[in-house]
A and B are shown apart, each in its own frame.
Chain A
Amino acid sequence: MQAIVNISLKNGVLDPQGRAISHALGDLGFSEVADVRVGKQIQLDIDETDPARLRQRVARMCETLLSNTVIEDYSIEIPDENK
């Protein structure tokens, strides 16, 4: 089963990359852009068929390696959960 982890910076953590992108978009005429935050997505293929167990394991992976919870939040998507 596939799991998709989305990692984003917590509110209040400076995102210099997002700020630079925001400025660049403004320079390109996208003056409606108020703020940009850059995160990352990690796609995992996992040998597991039970969505609940999968979610639990992936949450453990996020806590131990995939995210640094001092500065990052994570969310887990399981696209085939309701199939």
Chain B
Amino acid sequence: MTLSAMRVAIIVFPGSNCDRDMMVAIEQLTSRRPALVWHKETSLDPVDLVIIPGGFSFGDYLRCGALAGRSSVMHAVLDHAARGGAVMGICNGFQVLTETGMVPGVLIRNAGLKFACRNVDLAVCDTVASPFTSGLAAGQHLTIPIAHNEGNYFADADELRRIEDNGQVAFRYVAGAAFGPANPNGAANDIAGVLSPNGRVMGMMPHPERAMSPEQGGSDGALFMSKALESLVS
């Protein structure tokens, strides 16, 4: 399969606000426009990748991602993942994935109680086989922006040990050129992104779709996403 044959679906909830940016980013990389799928849909056409975009789904009511995680389209997304389908959640999408249990842990209020909106430096981790990391080198650094209030990754000690041992940590915040503390939100073990046990579902707080060209301030998001898409089609 070639990149231009790749079928990508982006799920849209009331309050999603990175769906269009993600659509443009995917189209830039694949030359094919992804489908935008409204949360009330009960099924998904066969796709190679489902993306849960950033935003404030359902106004962050109850808990970030809680209501979106139980909306009707998510049953279809869960089925897709259960068949080994690839799913990527960005920012609020990561919160949605934790609420469904597709990736472990939960994202709580930033330790500094401030909305964090800036570039961060990430290190790619040595992970379980995953299309989201296989095209990158372990230890490789990426600079990608964050924009969130609840990005403080939490899991209890046993769960943390389990995901570290299983290679489910995809990205960690590290010191680099970005202004401010390396860990922007108090996340346990500096975790910025995690994988499902089989590596096919990935959630991350940073926004790769906001780092797609030098004009946007950087293109490491494009680097990460192009490698992920290439891994998925190969």
Contact = CB atoms under 8 A, between A and B. Distances in A.
Interface residues of A, number: 12
Contacts of B98: 70
B66 A70 contact: no
B70 A65 contact: yes
A17 B99 contact: no
Interface stretch (B105-113, B133-141, B168-176, B221-229): B105-113
A68 interface: yes
Best-buried of A13, A17, A65, A66 by chain B (most CB within 10 Å): A65
A16 interface: yes
Contact of B113 (A12, A17, A66): A17
Interface in A39-83: 64-66, 68, 70-71
A14 interface: yes
B62 A66 contact: yes
Interface residues on B, range: 20 to 34
B154 A13 contact: yes
A20 interface: yes
Given A66-B62, A68-B66, A14 B113 contact: no
Nearest to B99: A68
B156 A68 contact: no
Nearest to B186: A14
A65 B66 CA distance: 7
A66 to B, nearest CB: 7
A16 B107 CA distance: 13
Given A14-B152, A65-B66, 14 more contacts: A14-B111, A14-B154, A14-B186, A16-B111, A16-B152, A64-B70, A65-B62, A66-B62, A68-B66, A68-B99, A70-B106, A71-B106, A71-B108, A71-B154
15 contacts: A14-B111, A14-B186, A16-B108, A16-B110, A16-B111, A16-B152, A17-B113, A65-B66, A65-B67, A65-B70, A70-B98, A70-B105, A71-B106, A71-B108, A71-B154
